[in-house]
Amino acid sequence: MAYKIEESCISCGACAPECPVNAIAQGDTIYVIDADTCIDCGSCASVCPVGAPVQE
C-alpha cells in the first residue's frame, strides 16, 4: 500500500515538504510519489487542497 497522486493535482507543492521520507517530487505535469519510499502516513493527503493523493 502506498499513496498515489491523481491527475487532479494542481502542482501547488504543498505536499512535498510534509513528506517525512521525501517520497514526493515534481513530475512533468503533476507531483509524483515514489511508491517504494512512501510509508503510507497520509500527511500529503492532509495538506493537499484538492485531495489528489489517494491510497492505492
Q: Please give the residue ranges that form the binding site for ligand SF4 (CB under 6 A).
A: 3, 5, 9-15, 18-21, 23-24, 31, 33, 38-44, 47-48, 50, 52-53
Distance CA 44, CA 51 (A): 9
Shortest approach of ligand SF4 to residue 23 CB, angstroms? 4
Query: DSSP character for 11?
Result: -
Give the gyration radius of the chain's Cα atoms.
Answer: 10
Shortest approach of ligand SF4 to residue 44 CB, angstroms? 3
Cβ distance to ligand SF4 smaller for residue 28 or 31: 31
Which residues touch 17 (CB under 8 Å, ≥6 apart)? none
